Every structure is written in structure tokens, then in C-alpha cells.
Chain A
Amino acid sequence: MSHPTPSAEARVDRAWRLLDAVPDPEVPAVSVCDLGIVRDIHHDGEVLVVVLTPTYSGCPATEVIEASVIKALEDAGMAPVRTITRRSPAWTTDWISQKGREQLRAYGIAPPCTEAGPTERTVRFFPREAVLAQPACPRCGSSNTERVSQFGSTACKALHRCLACREPFEYFKPI
């Protein structure tokens, strides 16, 4: 070879930059890195290993994400590449980067409130208002919003409505 092989560290850096451009298939405004799905990149001998943590157990995007991660790296000439799934620690919305949160908002999805999801096993069903802090409307910024449904178009989102501008919006729910 006429030029020296880039060091392992440089290859890992480059892989992170490449993956930063791989969008999440369900939320294409945000990259798989900013969503916190890519946990680690390292070498196993010659093979570049990408560690992924799925968001929801039943998320149908999981396999698409694996395929697009491998494709992005292979297209950039970084083969051989392999992905592994790490379940523990479980994915949490706390891993969404600040940049990712801003991108979600700009895309019209309210980012998760910093207050975590239901962690203690208390059944909270009544009254509805007292449930959790309501997210601000990603369009007009008003915090006068209400939940329409706890489940939205994808596993990770809930359906909300802004009472100020009357627009419905999606909320990336904290888990």
C-alpha cells in the first residue's frame, strides 16, 4: 500500500462521523447517534464492531437501523463491519443528545420532558391532569397542552394537542 493504514482510533472517529449522518428511519430528522442508539464503536481484530441498543422491544425500525448502519460504513469502504445488540443498560430517552432534542423540536415532535417515565410501580390513573408535566408545544412554545393518547404513530411517541394554537403534535415519551 502506498499510504499508511489509518490508525484504529482514526477509523473509529471516522465511523462515528459517518453514522452521525444515518437518520433514524422513523424519525428521519435525527441521527441514530443523536438518538443514543449507537452506544460504542470498536475493533475486533480487523472487524469494525458497532454496538446498538434498541429503543423499544417491538420497534420495527431495529432491523432497518442495523442494515443502514452497515451499509453506511461499507459504502465508505470500512468493511468488514458487524453490529451487535446490547440490551443492558436499557435504552432511555436521557441518551438523546441536546442536538437531537433540538432537531426533534424543529421537526414538530416535542422532546421528552426531563422528568423520567413511570419508574415507580404506582398506578396513576386519576385524575388525568395530575399525571405528568406536559410538554411544550413544538410549534408555538405554549405549555398549555394536553395529552390525547399515550400511544402514537410509533412506539416511542404519544399524541398531544396544544390548547393555545390548537395544533396536534407528537411527543417523544420519556422511558
Chain B
Amino acid sequence: MNLSPSKASQPALRYLLRVADTCLIHAQRLAEWCGHAPVLEEDIALTNIALDQIGQARAVFAHVAALEGAGRSEDDLAFLRIEREYLNPTLVELPRGDFAVTSLRNLFVATFQTLLWSALRDSKDSEVAAIAGKSIKEALYHQRHAADWCVRLGQGTEESQRRMSAALELLWPYVPELFESSAEDLEAVHTGLGPDWSSLEGEWRQEVQRVLDEAGLAPPAPSRFRSSGRLGRHSEHMGFLLAELQYLQRAVPEGRW
């Protein structure tokens, strides 16, 4: 079945925005590597992954815009919301850091997305299920690429190990947010739209742990810190990211070429 616009509740729309914004903001960070990656192949790989993420975000935004029926387009959703209206987890908005931070975050995000798309294939919303069926194939390639690099860097030189450990120290506290559901999310989950985020945690930890083991890396002890990007409360980095992301649309509204 396809949820008709009238039946699309606010929680459902916001659940889908959490999915799409994760792709969009992660893509923005990956795209920053264009022209800066350590080798040409990686430049191409990272921007390819960014492009896949933008494509996935577009598909979900277009669907949200249709469900919402408020005359907003996918571009309005991507470019013209204010900071508090973006619902990505904080993890994806953190600065891209060095190649170790990027590789490790890619692993975290791709593992999360393979589990998420995989579950969304069973969504009661047939459009969401179709988008997921396509995206899962891409996410598996992203995950493989990221896992490969994490192992290589973890097992590499003293310098690469040091940087991977530092990356793990930096990113690990942002992981718990990925698996926390608000009451609003659960409302959407109960309609069969998609999985409860917390249901993805067990497998995520297992898969990431296998890579970390192979890479010879150990995560730090859990901390009490909780990020809250998914609720619209972002880190100090988000404003700068949006300034760049939205610049063209704000400077030349509805600009086309």
C-alpha cells in the first residue's frame, strides 16, 4: 500500500526526514574530499559514495514532499530548511577530519544504512520499500569499501594505527544516538513504516566489532555523553555545514542552469 497524503502523519514525515537527512549531510561531508583525497582512486570512491547518498536522499525527500502535500519540493527540503529542522544524527555532521576519521565514520554509517535499508524493504509504504530495495545494493558496496580501509589502516603503520585509535576515541560517543528512538519515532514505527532504531543496534555492534577486531582496534569505554541531532539539536559544526550547503539556493533562489 502507499500511504496517501492525508494519512501521512507528522511522526511519519519526520521519521523519513531522519533517514534522508542522514544521507544528505553525510554526502555533504564526503563531497568535501573532492580534490583532496590522499589518492585519485579514493577521491573518486568518496565522491561516488557521496553521489549515491545524494540520490538516496533525493528519492526520500521527493516522497516526503509528495506525502506532505504542502507544495514543498525535494529541493526546498534539502536546501531551505533551518538548522533545527534537519533531523540527522550528529555523527554525520562532524567535520570530516583526516582520512582515518572519514573511513571510520563511513564504516559506522554504511553499517547502519545496510541494516536500515534492509529493514525498510519491508516497509508498509511501498515507495519506501522500493527506495530501500535499490539503496541496499549501494550501501553494501559502501560498507565493504569502508571496512577494507579500517582494517588496512588499523593494521598499517604506527602512524595509521595512532590515527585510527584517535578517530575511534572521537566518534564512539556519537554512536548511541543512532539507536535511540523518541516517542515520535515509535509512533511511526507502529504504523509499519520502518524499524525501531534500537532494533538495529545488536547487529550493528556485532558487525562493527568484527571489523575493529580485525583492525586491532578497541573502542573506548561507553560515556554518558548523548548527542541529539535527530531531535534537531545539532553540534556547533552544523551551522557552518548548512551555510555551505545552502549558499547557492539562498544567493540565487530557484536558480537553474
Contacts and interface: CB of A to CB of B under 8 A. Distances in A.
B137 to A, nearest CB: 4
Nearest to A175: B137
6 contacts: A57-B59, A90-B130, A92-B137, A121-B140, A151-B41, A155-B48
Interface of B is mostly: helix
A58 interface: yes
Contact of A88 (B41, B48, B129): B129
B100 to A, nearest CB: 16
Interface of A is mostly: loop
Contact of A57 (B52, B210, B214): B52
Interface stretch (B9-17, B76-84, B143-151, B160-168): B143-151
B41 A148 contact: yes
Contact of B55 (A58, A90, A91): A58
Contacts of A123: 111, 143-144, 147, 207, 210-211
Contacts of A141: none
A89 B211 CA distance: 31
B118 A87 contact: no
Contact of B135 (A57, A118, A149): A57
A151 B44 contact: yes
B: contact size bracket: 35 or more
A87 B131 contact: yes
A: contact size bracket: 20 to 34
A140 interface: no
B138 A150 contact: no
| Shortest beta-carbon contacts, A-B, top 8 | A57-B55, A58-B55, A88-B130, A58-B51, A149-B41, A151-B45, A87-B130, A90-B134
Interface in A46-75: 54, 56-60
A124 interface: yes
Given A89-B133, A123-B210, A152-B44, A117 B52 contact: no
